[in-house]
A and B are shown apart, each in its own frame.
Chain A
């Protein structure tokens, strides 16, 4: 909570080449390719020569893995991530030029301005959302017919794996990446994140991971879905290494984001920003950060162990050789269940934030909302074996996991009560962001109610591993998180880019999205219960009617995202509607009290927080912050 301006830091001087080059995306790509060649063709081939399991199978995992790892390192060095540590090791003054850039170019480089990182995250993640969504369209095309194929079976399971893994990777970042990085420092009255370089690294690892994952297409794909169960992962072809490395990179990124967000919210709050005044969105980010910091290391570990099984002949997960596939299943879900709350919690918090703004009322039961978010965080570490109810685990454990899983619906229900209480006698404005936020509660309720069926062991016997599960988690993740993310985009777009997204087109997108989302996924509950397992390229002929209906709805659902893309281009370039004020939604949030565009340092002087941002309807409510405090006021606020 330092109030000393950061102007004391040395500005970069030096020759022109040092300022504009050589660290840019071009050098990054070149060094990435050089890294791959060194790793694969030189180091990898030297190490692997004579290793029978690598050469006799025409499948040199050692070489491929090293190539990918060296390539990623080369890419990051090319972007300039080594400059700072190397400068410090050599005793030189560290360059801070990352922060000084202007214009469009900074969005394609290592930039330590948290607002630039937020925008990088937004477009980067949306790009991968569209690619993964396109894969979903191909999957639905395959399922138009019960056995005749559109793509062959091995390509089909690769598509399923690519879709699932990419969606998981991008949705871990779809809210906390853009809006967490952009708005959390502003909301708590800080000028930057605690670790700006780590922040930039956490973003640039995401495109690295996604590109590595897509490279699986050129390496015969991978057959294991997003869960990567052993020992199928050990049999798999080279593409499996892409899955393992990309998910490992995402694990590192998640850990770094969690660390950074926690450090920022713990140490960089402005004077007067007490825990009780934090916006609920920041609480959501804190809860998510705890999950990321504790769960992602387990993912990194399991990916590393599978890599070793594949490349150097260990057998952590191979039955009969001293390992066990159960070990992988447990490790994966120890990460995997907190992961689904990494996806859910930022969505809840964002939706509550939007409901409060557009209902013109304070969040009803603020403390209950915080308790709900933290309660889910705590419980989510104790439920993972509900994924293994029929796997042959010790049956005595099943009632325990059934109980913990059902317990988690209690804190989740808090959030519903918060939303309902906030709507009570409110002044509800049905703007596009509000529609998205309200849809979250509808969709997530269906997701949660179907989760109760899955948590009940007897019922889970028939629904486990079926399309019922698949519909369930699409309702929670897509119906919850993705709806919240689009609400956030429509809400914050005027602040981030200075223009509104067109409201009429926004409503078209919303209604297409909402209606066809439900038409796509609700019938899949029935398909699952009627006996359609997940990830199948062929199914029983009597399920064709349901599947054809679902595929048709899914195409419209896919089209609704093209409407969004059109809206962005139309609103940014062809029909710019610039908000009349800096605060077009009349929000009390601190970020809306700042000018648009927000200055590089956010606040001219560190603000003093005077209350929570929910003073709606209270004529005596003071502004959320004093943006121009006198030193005496700063001292009085404890600064």
Chain B
């Protein structure tokens, strides 16, 4: 037993490195979690954004001691063991490895990975809302059954090079603006009528690829009033960089007024729009001429 403990006792250099690492980590990690975390995007404008911010905070905090460990080790070794550049001052000790150190290293990395994977998966399972990401036509993670029933459906249509939005529960009106009521579960059904786009509502923490002939569902619940940016996040041709607009989160009465106004405004074109479907793909083989 004593022999084993002796074997496990770190060399003085290693003890020094471990102490420096421990002190720095204990100081830096909480600071990162408390002060850097809230600054991390995408913010707290929606449940999804908040969840992602939490994820980013935990991962940044987790990475901090690892960064410190590597930096301390490398800097310590550079300072302690550097020799004059060209001089032949002999070789270092012929150490070939240590099973106990390697085993510890493997065990630690495996534990970190298992923690990350378990915890990341947890937010994608039923009962959660899929973290704002596009989940394809059959979402696995759905809002709670009650919220799912009352969720506001919005069809997001990507086209070269503008986003349009259809509200099926309001007569299928199609608009060029995205306005959402606050504190209401929203179910985006993202689709495209030509090439692949990606719908990115930045501050809401929503991203879902817009694929032709496919409804890509993403859930989000905005919790703060204000505007958010929308951009295309998948290269879609000439004006990809300009395929941007703004969305708005407003109170429920304001939303009702807005949607009524939109129905009046777009009334002339309404009869020409196709009936509401999960996708918006007109004549797929349409090669105009």
Contacts and interface: CB of A to CB of B under 8 A. Distances in A.
Nearest to B140: A395
A462 B207 contact: yes
Interface stretch (B21-29, B49-57, B150-158, B170-178): B49-57
A394 B48 CA distance: 20
A622 B238 CA distance: 64
B281 A319 contact: yes
B97 A458 contact: no
A555 B202 CA distance: 30
B120 A409 contact: no
B237 A445 contact: no
B237 to A, nearest CB: 5
Contacts of B59: 452-453, 456, 459
Contacts of B97: 364-368, 421
A319 B284 contact: yes
Contacts, number: 308
A431 interface: yes
A365 to B, nearest CB: 4
Contacts of B133: 389-390, 457-458, 460-461
A464 B211 contact: no
B200 A533 contact: yes
Interface stretch (B85-93, B179-187, B258-266, B267-275): B85-93
A154 interface: yes
Interface residues of B, number: 99
Given A416-B70, A431-B85, A461 B281 contact: no
B240 interface: yes
A464 B206 CA distance: 11
A49 interface: no
Contact of A232 (B40, B49, B70, B235): B235
Nearest to B122: A399
A60 B237 CA distance: 20
Given A153-B241, A449-B67, A529 B40 contact: yes
Given A395-B130, A533-B231, A390 B207 contact: yes
B102 interface: yes
Contacts of B222: none
B113 A407 contact: yes
Contacts of A534: 233, 235
A442 B140 CA distance: 39
A232 B211 CA distance: 12
Contacts of B136: 392-395
Contacts of B4: none
A88 interface: no
Contact of B239 (A153, A326, A617): A153
Interface in A213-232: 223-225, 227, 229-232
B131 A410 contact: no
A278 interface: no
A392 B137 contact: yes
Interface string B244-285: 100000000000000000000000000000000000010011
B124 A366 contact: no
B37 interface: no
Contacts of B237: 157, 223, 232, 235
Closest CB pairs A-B (n = 10): A320-B284, A536-B241, A458-B131, A465-B233, A617-B91, A399-B121, A392-B216, A319-B212, A361-B92, A531-B202
Given A424-B77, A426-B81, 14 more contacts: A53-B287, A321-B284, A360-B90, A360-B92, A361-B91, A390-B134, A391-B196, A392-B190, A399-B125, A410-B110, A427-B91, A464-B198, A529-B42, A537-B240
